[in-house]
Each structure stands twice: as C-alpha cells, then as structure tokens.
Chains A and B, each alone.
Chain A
Amino acid sequence: MVKTQYGIKYAVHLITNHFGNLVAKVCECLLRKGPLTLHNIVRYTELTQMQVKNSLLVLIQHNCVQAFRLADTGGSQSAPKQITQYIALFDNILHRMRFSKFLAIISQEFDTLCVGIVEGLLQHGRLTLRQIVERANSSQKEGNSVGMGAVQENLRKLVMARYVEHCPTAEPFLESPTEDDAPARKRGAKSSKMVIEPETLEQRVMEAARPMEAKRFSLEMDTELNEDGEKDQNKSPDKHVGDKRKRDASDPNVDSDTTEDQVVLWHANFEEFIRRLRHKACIENVRARMDDGAAIVLSAMLEASKTEEKKVRTASSVPLSVNSIYEEVIKSEKGRNMTFDHVRSALVQLSSPPPFVTVIDESYSIDFKHIIEVAQSEEVESIVLKRFGRDAYRMFRLLSKAGRLLETDKISDKIFVEKKETTKILYKLWQDDYLLMEKLVVGTATFLLWKVNKHVLWEHVLDEMFHAALNLSLRVAYELEQQKEIVNLPTDRREGPMKEKYEKLKKMRVLMESSQMKLDDAIMLFHDF
C-alpha cells in the first residue's frame, strides 16, 4: 500500500524520536519529495551540506534510506552522467516500531546469543562480524568471553533462517524506465486480467540493491577476523560499535564499487520477520474463526511450505499432500496428539467454502489472500460498528459483500430498517468517506445509490490508523512528561498519594503501549500483508 499523508507524519515522528530533529528533517524531505540528490536535499531543507550528509549517513546506517545511481539524461552536450540520489525507505522506518516483535520471534526460535546478535543489528542498523563479536563480549561478565566460533555459529543459524542477511549494495545503478517498459506492462495487466500493483520506485531500488540470492544469504564470513581477528581486536580496543558507521555507510564522494564487499556488513532481514508475522496473523485468524486443530494444521502447512515462499505478499502457498501435512503436524508438540483423521477433518474444515485452504487434486494450498482479506474486512467493520452503530454495521456489511451499487430502498428492505432512517445512516457513512454515493435521476424521481469502494476505503482506514498511532505515541510522551516527577521519584519515596499516582500512570502506560502494539498489528495487516 502507498504511504498516506499521516503515514509520512507518523514515520517522521518515529525518526524524530529516535534520531532527533535534524535527521528527521532530511528524512521528511525525502518522504515528501521522493528521491533527491544531495544537492537538492540541501536546497530544500536549507541545512548545511555537512548536516545533510551526516543525517543521510545515520539514515543509511539504520536502513531507512538507500542511495542509488541513475543515468542523467538531462545534459545532452556530454556523455550521460550518473547521478546519485537518495530515497527514503518508508516501510523500513515503520519497522522500527516492531523491533520488539522481531526480537520475540528470535527468542522463540533461538537461544540468547542469537537474540543478542539480532538485538545488536536492530539497535545499530548494520554491523560487521567483528562488531557483532565485540558487542557479544561487552555484554558478558569479566572473563566470560564469547568465542569467535560461537558467534559465527549463531550468526550462521540466523542467516540460514534468513533473519539476517548481507546489506544491500551501497549504490546500485538503476536503469531508468524506458518507454518500451510502460506499455508492455500495461498490456500484460490487461491480458492477464489481474490487478498487479505497480512496482514503486522504492521497490525497484531495493530490488537493484539486493545482492543476488546466493550472496544475500552467503555464509562465507569475511576474512578480517578469521586470520588476524583476535589480534586486530586487541590492537584497537577503543574501537566501538557505531564508530564504523561513517566509513561503512555509503558516502557519496567515495566510489562505492571500490570499497564495497571488502568487509561484509550484516543487517536484519525485515522481509523475513514480516513474513513470519504475516504467518502468525493467519494462524490467529484461523484459530479465532475455527479451532485449535485447524490452527495447528495451518501452521504445519506454513512450516512445510515456507521455503518456497519468495515474497512477503504471496497469494497462496505451494500445494501439499495430506501426508506431507501430517508429517509436519506431528513434528510439533501440540500436533503430536492429533490423529491422521483429525488432521484430515481439520483440512475439510479449512477448505469448506468460503475456503482458507484450496484443494486441487488432493493437494492443499493456503489462500493467504483470502485470510488476509477477511481479517481486513473484520477490522473495518468493527470500526463502523463502534463509530456508527449496529444498523450502519449491517448496511456496511451488505454493501461490502455486494461489491456494487445498491439503491437506498433495497438496502432498507434487506436490513429491516425504516427507509428514512436508512437514508440518514447511509448519508453519515458517506460523509465520513466510508461509502460512495451516486445519484440517479429517472424522470422526476431521484434515486440514491451506494457502494463500498474497498480500494479507496482501505487506504483511508490505513491513513486513520497512522493518525491514531501518531496520536497514541504523542499522548504517551505527554503523560510521561506530565508525570515526570513521579516517574523520577526513588522507589522508597513513592508513598501515599504518590504511590497511587505512580500506579495509575503504570496502568495508563500498559494500556497505551499494548494498544500501540495492537494498532501496529492492524497497520501491518493493511500496509505490509
């Protein structure tokens, strides 16, 4: 989905919180204006070149900005030049809200050393193996050092599971879209009659920057440590994590081709984390709608087919046979007490129309798209119910299911609400952009027709969610600021009314912060899944 107005505001707010106003200003400029050259960023932000450069380095280090080169077709007199532009990575900025979720996934699947590695990568954006080792050792007690081998071994595990990958190329060259490309894509879309989301520039840049599959998850560790690692480490004890940032990140004045690849930089593979969260959301949806059995079978299917998934927004999984599903089911502790028949009946349940799992020739495949769509509809319907009432909820569901224009009287008949009242409610929904209205004049009579346009509405809802997320975050900060004294009070002096106030603040924080996490789940549902 696109970045909406409030999406940008929210992203800028996150960057301001994490890196301060200066960096946020540069980031906002890129988010609002699209990719820009260093020169233009300086011009628009009215900051000094040095300030912009440093801000860009921070943003690149934290995977929030990507540099790329484009053929400059402007100058006709000389040979085509390559110009470097910077693009803000909107999705990656939002992921900063989800680091705790990412870490939770790691701690479920791996041991603490792995959690430490990923935590370091999330905290510092990108690290070399040496920095990872340094970090692992700095958190250990004296004399309890973590060996190079152990770190390498754990990093290997994380790379194998695709949670960690090589950083993208510093400055990939992007072919400017030729004129032949555009119509070709259009023709393709028409003939296949499928709605193909146009590839955004952000996606194209990331595609170009991504190392080849083999290199991206290559387990070949760089040699800097294997040979003289331990020595080197001792030689420069004052070198800390983060110091390398400026050298590692892409510097527009350095020809990146010559410096890259000498030291391998690692970072967290957000794509894999989001895929995992998508899977979890699907499992929870099925559990809520069906039962634990169906959820266990679905999660086994996800496990068995995950290696075949190429992108996050896969529409459906590869087909699996009952036997292979059963084999996977019994691998898990919960699945072990399921019989073959139980699994079979869960599959029947999952594939009964409208199906979450489609069956073709005795092979089962997960219909991700359908599961996600159901969850999205449910989220929007629940907003309609709370904001506009039960009758509006019924009307909305009717129109949403119909997927076409319906006339007021017809709506009134179907949901058993008086015509006048129906018109009033529909009008209110329309005013708040939840419905589309069309007037049809036949002779002297005017008919009002209504419709839910999911594409437009989903974007509108997402924008409101970003707005709400921003508000929640601002309110949390405000409450903490208001009650600064209480927060800073030593524990032993929290007595009487002070203690009460402290407890109240604690409850407020728990409520707001858990709401933030849940709201972020909903944002992912609409934005990332």
Chain B
Amino acid sequence: MFDLTGKNALITGASGGIGGAIATALHGAGAQVALSGTRVEPLEALARDLGERAHVLPCDLSDAEAVDALPKQAAEAMGSLDILVNNAGITRDQIFMRMSDEEWQSVLDVNLTSAMRLCRGVMRPMMKARWGRIVNISSIVGATGNAGQANYAAAKAGLVGLTKSIAYEVASRNITVNAVAPGFIATAMTDKLSDDQKGKINAQIPAARMGQPEEIAAAVLYLASPEAAYVTGSTLHVNGGMAML
C-alpha cells in the first residue's frame, strides 16, 4: 500500500519538523523528493540522510518571483512534478489590537499566497500528465481560531478555501487537492511554549498529548497515494480529538 515509486514530490518547509517528516515518509514510499525551505543546512542534512532521490531547492517563499520559479526548478531536477506539499508556514503572533500590517502581510504571503503560486505553477504539468496530488498543510486554528493568531488562522482557513476551489476545477483531470489540518504537534514551533502552556494544551486534547510530525506525514502520504484518488477537496484533521470536525 501507498507505493509512490516513480512519483516526484516537492515539499516546502522541509527544513522544519513536520516538513522533514513528510519528505521522509514520501521518500520512504519510493518517491523522489525536492526539499525546499529557507535554511539550506537542515535541508542538506535531510537530503544526506535520505540518500538517493533527494534534491535541495532553497527558496524564500516571501519572494514571489522565486516562488513562481520553484515548480519548474523541481520538475527540472526530478524529471516531472507529480506531488506538491505546501507545508511551509511562519507565525507572527500578536493580539489583534496590536497586529501590524507587516505581521499580517508576512504571514499571509508565506502561508497562503506562496501556496497559491505553487499550486498555479504545478497545474500545467499535472494537467498534461492527467495525474497530480496537492496537499496543503492547514491547521486546527484555521477551523477553530486562536487568540493571538488572527493572521495565521486567516491564512490557514484561506488554504482550505483555496484547496476546495482548485479541487472542483481539476477533479476531472485526476488531480486531487486536499488539506491536512494538524492540531498541536511537537516541533520547534511548539518548543517555544512554556511547560505551563504545554500542560494547558494537553489538557484540551482527548489524546492527552501533542502529536508527532510522523503522524502528520502519514496523513499526507495517504492523500498523495494512488489509493486516495477518490478523496478531493477534503480536510483531514489530525489533532488527537482536540476538535472533532
């Protein structure tokens, strides 16, 4: 099950905890992977760990021109582009009354607009191939909201609307577009929280623990697989029961 041999995948934010786990899972299923991110060192370390079938394509997702060029670079490096995982995300948390235009815009640019640009960039090759998989990494807060994250929640909710709309347009071409919405996952992003904050979070999770990056990667692997051909426009919530949507 879930054999991606011969498929080529581009993963953004692959230098992070969840992105790295996604790349590792797709690679483990036989896919060739293009690892994108801003921090070159962790990308190259991951590529070394994976060995063959791994390419490093650094990209600043706040740079529109660089984002537009990325799908082509990935297709050139791998021969084609069959799977796109828009995983990259940043936070600029701030209570809404104090949120600056810059805090709003930078989060929207990286978390939403770059995903739109990459989706647009992969459409042509996927339409021609009559096969494609796009997985956008949303977030539980896109559905529930979260104090201090108006920008992040808006971008993550925006990804769901983007996902569904593109899914409508390209379903007849065997291209599926889905979202995965992680709850609280143990990564560098959540390491910044204090023990007290973590305890409060865990108390709200029926599973009574944070998720692991590999548990998000497994959801992405499924949605990227041939077995998920009939699943499109959906959001798969992976949150330990924190929000049952």
A binds B: no
Q: Spell out B's residues near A (CB within 8 Å).
A: none
Q: Spell out A's residues near B (CB within 8 Å).
A: none
